[in-house]
Structure 1
Amino acid sequence: MARHLYSCPLRWSDMDAFGHVNNVVFLRYLEEARVDFMWRLAPGDGSKAFTGGVVVSRHEIDYLKPLVHRHSPVTVETWVTEIRAAYLTLRYEIKDEDTVYVRAATRLVPFDLEQGRPRRVSREEETFLTEYLEPGQGAGRRERSEGALAV
């Protein structure tokens, strides 16, 4: 299983009054890594994968250690833990060589912006996501008899 690595710079404006990265800023770090993963690394030139829209339906975040301002970036590792017919789940660690500061998860729903409603994960998206799927986790979306989609 591959993990996507994103080098995330710390900005002075990310700090709270105590000199730590503010808790809500970590969500921005996750967003930056997610965008880098899904749009920059999405399958191939001319691909429509993920371009129709994706919305966040859930975040979970565990703050493990305070992160103070410094000039070196942190790494955001991203991988896939679940692929279903109409959603997927990403997991993350925000860390450096010595410390994990945050563990988090995001549930994403592919969205059709033109029609204003959720859509299914495409085969092309599923193929791309499967490269980052955590071992032991099944894609689960099309393994039904009679061709029904798993949700």
Structure 2
Amino acid sequence: MVPLRWTDQDAYRHVNHARIVTLIEEARVALAFTGAGQEGLTGFASGLLVAGLHVEYKRQLPWRAEPMRVEITVRDLRAASFTLDYVLRDGSGADDAVAVTAWTKMALYDLEEQRVRRLTGGERDYLKRYLGETS
């Protein structure tokens, strides 16, 4: 769940399209930095870069005070990169319809060495828990 802020809405009281990218970023941080960090995996927080981003808007999201549900799965788990898939659901109606789908290709990066680095075994095991059905 990602909280919505008053400033996330546009003039039509819908969540602004650019703010969607911020919402998926917050969901990614919760997964890769907070969740992994709680398990002692700090490598993501010290060097994880967005190498690609794609967003598809399926329907408008009316702004509301309740948090937005963001589902994340992992695919294309490779030696030094992986892709995160996101589904944002409306949640304001009975159907809870998909409003946005997105993906980010993530690359692990050693900031000190200024180069891409490989996933550790612990990082790989953590991400495997979130593998999607088609991974």
TM-score between both structures, scaled by the size of structure 2? 0.89
Partner residue of 2:102? 104
Task: Tell which structure's C-alpha radius of gyration is larger.
Answer: 1
Find the counterpart in structure 2 of residue 135 from structure 1: 133
1:31 match: 25
* CA offsets 1:21-68 (integer angstroms, 9 cap, x no match): 111100000000000001121165543331331000101111011011
Partner of 2:119: 121
Q: Secondary structure at the match of 1:8?
A: coil
Q: Secondary structure at 2:36's aligned position in 1?
A: coil
Corresponding position of 1:70: 64
Please state whether the residue corresponding to 2:76 is helix, strand or coil. Answer: strand
Shift of residue 113, structure 1, vs aligned partner: 1.0
Asked if the contact 2:57–2:99 (Cα under 8 Å) also holds between the matched residues in 1, the reply is: yes
Q: What code does the residue aligned with 1:115 have?
A: E
- Which whole-Å CA distance do the structure 1 matches of 2:38 and 2:104 have between them? 24
TM-aligned CA deviation for residue 136 of structure 1: 4.2
What corresponds to 1:94 in structure 2?
88
Give 1:8's match in structure 2, choosing from 2, 11, 14. 2
Kindly tell me: are residues 52 and 10 of structure 1, through their superposed partners in 2, closer, same or farther at Cα, counting changes over 3 Å? closer
Q: How far apart, CA to CA, are the structure 1 residues paired with 2:23 and 2:3?
A: 9
Q: Which runs of 5+ in 1 are unaligned?
A: 1-6, 138-151
For residues 72-120 of structure 1, the C-alpha deviation after alignment (integer angstroms, 9 at most, x for no partner) is: 1110011101201121000011112622110011100001111122111
Q: Secondary structure at the match of 2:51?
A: strand
Q: Runs (4+) of structure 1 moved beyond 6 Å?
A: none
2:54 is equivalent to residue 60 of structure 1: yes
Q: Whole-Å Cα distance in 2 between the matches of residues 14 and 43 of structure 1?
A: 27
> Distance between the aligned counterparts of 1:72 and 1:43, measured in 2?
26
Which shows bigger deviation, 30-39 or 88-97?
A: 88-97
Alignment root-mean-square deviation, CA: 1.6
Q: Match of 1:33, as an amino acid?
A: A
Verify the 8 A CA contact 1:43 1:125 in the aligned structure 2.
no
